[in-house]
């Protein structure tokens, strides 16, 4: 139990670290807010179990905190998966996980009602959890959303075919599967462990996905906002991630392509330029970070534009 509590403490600290790292990313990074919210839900799960083990809260209150985290995590996980795979619904309706949170929010209301809380879970005299009818419903609901998210990530990993992206594809495709399989083995009794390993497995999954989804290190603050800098440049610029998906586009590029940023972000830059139908030439320059390609800079009409000097870039950023 002591080792389990220590690991939960590490997971809570890791979750706070991941939230801070993601929230300091540029605001246009797809999936940034969903990843932070999902990580916060996972932290609540870990903290609830930790508070019960350490005696910081009563067993009933600690159990409710952990349940809140687990009920909110599955819908947010599905939203994160959709953002990672760049599904059209994630781009057009980024708030689509919110309706999926409704059943969990309803149950959360019941948890703090003495009359109805026993329909979900109650704490037995020996400290074990006694399941109510709603517990089975929410577990099945959560597993369905989780498996749907895993299927989306595996499908995305199979579709990506960029050279040098094999490790990223394997990490994104397998990380959630390991968590689901490990949790299933524990709950079916195949994996005999004194405590539920699922919160720890989820932490490893989030750590792997962070490295696969976001560029840069865990803590890599920007002195100047990337978005503000790109918007001030006097040339047409698109920024992409490692897979070629547009993560930012400046006003000059919007005017040249006849497209707004909301319609471009998340799509492959080739598709954005082709959809413009105006015969735009472009030049792609890889952006290297820590010895590997972290993204690309797409310069529109390179033959007709003089690249800005360092002095011009700094002057634009000051304005």
Least confident among 21-30, 74-83, 148-157: 21-30
For the record, the structure tokens of 51 come out as 């508070």
What is the model's pTM? 0.70
For 129-151, what is the mean pLDDT? 82
Q: Is the pLDDT of residue 81 over 80?
A: yes
Print the SS3 string covering the chain: CHHHHHHHHHHHHHHHHHHHHHHCCCCCCCCHHHHHHHHHHHHHHHHHHHHHHHCCCCHHHHHHHHHHHHHHHHHHHHHHHHHHCCCHHHHHCCCCHHHHCHHHHHHHHHHCCCCCHHHCEEECCCCCEEECHHHHHHHHHHHHHHHHHHHHHHHHHHHCCCCCCHHHHHHHHHHHHHHHHHHHHHHCCCCCCCCCCHHHHHHHHHHHHHHHHCCCCCCCCCCCCHHHHHHHCCCCEEEECCCCEEEEECHHHHHHHCCCHHHHCCCEHHHHHHHHCCCCCEEEEEEEECCEEEEEEEEECHHHCCCCCHHHHHHHHHC
User: What pLDDT score was predicted for residue 243?
Assistant: 81
Q: Where are the domains of the chain?
A: 2-213, 226-318
User: Which stretch of 7-11, 91-95, 238-242, 270-274 has the lowest confidence by average pLDDT?
Assistant: 91-95
Both tokens assigned to 90:
């994630």
Reply yes or no on whether the pLDDT at 169 is more than 50.
Answer: yes
Mean pLDDT of 252-281: 88
d(CA 175, CA 154): 10
pLDDT at 221 over 50: no
Q: How confident is the model at residue 287 (pLDDT cuts 50, 70, 90)?
A: confident
Compare 317 and 44 and report the one with higher pLDDT: 44
Task: Report the pLDDT value the prediction gives residue 191, as an integer from 0 to 100.
Answer: 86
- Tell the residue number behind the tokens 């990580």, with chain if given: 39
Average pLDDT over residues 81-89: 84
Whether the per-residue pLDDT at 122 is higher than 80: the answer is: no
Q: Over 80: is that where the pLDDT of 285 sits?
A: yes
The confidence band for 63, taking pLDDT boundaries of 50, 70 and 90, is confident
Portion of the chain with pLDDT greater than 70, in percent: 81
Round to whole Å and give the CA distance between 269 and 151. Answer: 25
pLDDT at 220 over 70: no
Residue keyed to tokens 């897979």: 243
Q: What are the C-alpha distances in Å from 121 to residues 4, 54, 133?
A: 22, 20, 9
> Residue 64 and residue 269: Cα distance in Å, rounded?
45
Q: pLDDT tens across 231-241, in order?
A: 888 899 999 98
Contact between 272 and 279 (Cβ < 8 Å):
no
* 315 confidence band (pLDDT: 50, 70, 90): low
248 — phi, psi (to 5°)? Answer: -160, 150
Contact 280, 302 (CB under 8 A): no
> Average model confidence (pLDDT) for the chain?
81
Q: pLDDT by residue (tens digit) across 185-194?
A: 988 888 888 8
Quick check: 186 and 193 in contact, CB under 8 A? yes
Measure the CA dihedral 104/108/114/119, to 10°: 20
Q: Please check the confidence at residue 223 and state whether its pLDDT lies above 50.
A: no
User: Which pLDDT belongs to residue 123?
Assistant: 60
- Does the domain at 2-213 match CATH 1.20.1070? Answer given as yes
Fold assignment, 226-318? Beta-Lactamase (3.30.450)
Give the pLDDT score at 208.
84
Q: What per-residue confidence (pLDDT) applies to 23?
A: 79
């Amino acid at each position: 139990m002591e080792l389990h509590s220590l690991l939960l403490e590490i997971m809570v600290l890791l979750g706070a670290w991941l939230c801070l790292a993601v929230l300091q990313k540029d605001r246009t990074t797809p999936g940034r807010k969903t990843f932070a919210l999902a990580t916060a839900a996972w932290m609540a799960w870990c903290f609830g179990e930790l508070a019960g083990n350490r005696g910081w809260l009563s067993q009933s209150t600690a159990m409710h905190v952990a349940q809140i985290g687990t009920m909110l995590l599955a819908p947010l996980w599905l939203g994160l998966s959709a953002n990672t795979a760049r599904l059209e619904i994630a781009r057009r309706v980024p708030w689509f996980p919110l309706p999926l949170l409704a059943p969990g929010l309803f149950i959360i209301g019941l948890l703090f009602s003495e009359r109805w809380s026993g329909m979900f879970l109650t704490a037995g005299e020996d400290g074990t959890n006694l399941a109510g009818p709603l517990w089975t419903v929410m577990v099945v609901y959560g597993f369905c959303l989780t498996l749907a998210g895993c299927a989306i990530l595996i499908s995305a990993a199979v579709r990506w075919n960029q050279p040098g992206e094999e490790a990223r594809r394997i990490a994104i495709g397998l990380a959630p599967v390991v968590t689901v399989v490990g949790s299933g083995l524990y709950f079916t009794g195949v994996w005999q462990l004194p405590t539920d390993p699922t919160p720890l497995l989820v932490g490893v999954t989030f750590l792997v996905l962070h490295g696969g989804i976001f560029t840069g290190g865990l803590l890599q603050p920007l002195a100047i906002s990337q978005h503000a800098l790109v918007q001030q440049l006097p040339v047409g610029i698109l920024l992409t991630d490692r897979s070629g998906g547009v993560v930012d586009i400046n006003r000059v590029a919007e005017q040249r392509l006849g497209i707004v940023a909301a319609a471009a972000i998340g799509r492959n830059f080739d598709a954005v330029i082709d959809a413009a139908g105006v015969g735009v030439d472009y030049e792609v320059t890889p952006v290297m970070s820590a010895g590997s390609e972290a993204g690309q800079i797409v310069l529109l009409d390179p033959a007709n534009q003089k690249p800005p000097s360092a002095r011009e870039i700094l002057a634009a950023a000051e304005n």
